[in-house]
Structure 1
Amino acid sequence: MSATNHSQLIKKDSEDYLTTALLQLLKTNQLTDLSVTQVVKRAGVSRMAFYRNYKTLDDILIRYLTPIFNESFDDVSKGLTQEDKLRAMAHLFDELSDPLDLAMKQGFETIVQQIFNENIIRMYQKQNIWSGLVPDNQKYYTNFMAAGVYGIWREWLLSGKKEPLVNIQRLITNIQASLIASTIKYK
């Protein structure tokens, strides 16, 4: 094994140990109450290993959560029929409810919301549902929908997931359709 491959494996191991340690500590601690020292001690790595990979504890969460959200949103984007998209979105909400629940309890919800919103925006850009609008307006409508979808998902989780997800997705679909219709009417 070359020195480069060996150092890459060590880097990957350090990242994994740090991520695992942070997630374990977040089960009982607020993110703001944790320090780099606590995380590296729990991970069994040096501070140097932390700073080679990350600048802040937030960076660990961002690097960990981004691919999870990206993959889930890619699955939603792949749906061809409306029913496939409904099922994929229901699966996404359910699958990502644990990270959101932990984020709300332990003080890193803004990280989850940022990643969620970036994915919603990316999904809407792929679908190009706002065609015909000037680019600035597309940006505003897409950001509006991102915030709205996140708010609905958050409320569904806070209310104990009582509402069937298919109803939630239909609500989002109806809001989107109404917004598109009003956009076309007033452009």
Structure 2
Amino acid sequence: MDKRKEANLRVKRDITNTLFALMQKKSLSEITVTELVDGAGVARASFYRNYCSKEDVLVTLIRDVLEDFRGKITFGPDGFYSYDTVLLSFQYFRAFSGYILDLYHSGFVSVLLEELNRFHESVEGTMPSSSIQKYQLYMYIGALFNTAIEWLLKKDPTTPKEMADFFFPFIRGRQIGPFSRDIPGQR
């Protein structure tokens, strides 16, 4: 990687880390771009070369992580929603738990959910808007997202693999455990 790209990545990382540190002390609306660039030790022009707004810093981080995730997924016989992808999802939730919990506590976790929805839409491709099948996508990401958020909030020591082992049967339509009794037509 050339030195300019490395320097720009460092600038983006410093801005992002400074924003999250400031969000520990005050709301995003109270943070100024001036204190953000001063805290990051970068020029104001560097901020605006990379971002349109403070919110854009959050969205860019989420999109960068999702693109990294996209590069690591494999499409096997089960397609995108395989056990390996579920496991990788929980590994990413754990790896980025600090950022995720900061977004949650700052009231911006909905930004993450919206980006997850858009990411999964891009993976699935276009679907007719009249297709009821499109709701499976949102059911999947909602279940995964809410499960991961609760897991992180509770600081549960359960490993990503244990979470994937628990979660995967539900998305495969093999409801197990106490809930299976409540599903009409299931035995």
- Which bracket does the TM-score occupy, shorter chain normalised? 0.5 to 0.7
Deviation at 1:31, TM superposition (A): 2.2
Please, which runs of 5 or more residues in structure 1 have no aligned partner?
180-184
More helix by share: 1
Indicate the residue corresponding to 1:24 in structure 2: 21
| Paired residue secondary structure (2:133) | helix
The residue aligned with 2:98 is 98
Percent pairwise identity: 18
| TM-score, structure 1 normalization | 0.67
**What does residue 69 of structure 2 align with?**
72
Q: CA RMSD, aligned part only? A: 3.7
Once the two structures are TM-superposed, the CA of residue 166 in structure 1 deviates from its matched residue by: 3.2
- State how far apart, in whole Å, the 1-side matches of 2:143 and 2:4 are: 44
Aligned structure 1 segments of 4 or more residues deviating by more than 6 angstroms: 5-13
Q: Distance in 2 between matches of 1:95 and 1:6?
A: 27
Amino acid at match of 2:103: A
Structure 2 residues without counterparts, runs of 5 or longer: 175-184
The answer for the alignment partner of 1:111 in structure 2 is 111
Q: 1:168 aligns with which of 143, 147, 163?
A: 163
Q: Deviations over 1:86-120 (max 9, x none)?
A: 54233223212222112112332122222233334
Does the aligned pair in 1 maintain the 2:20–2:99 contact within 8 Å? no
Change (3 A) 1:168 1:6: closer
- Aligned equivalents of 2:8 and 2:85: distance in 1? 37
1:47 Cα deviation from its structure 2 partner: 4.3
Q: What does 1:79-158 correspond to in 2, within 5 Å?
A: 80=76, 84-123=84-123, 125=124, 136-158=131-153
- Matched position secondary structure for 1:137: coil
TM-score when normalising by structure 2: 0.67
Alpha-carbon offset, residue 153 of structure 1:
0.8
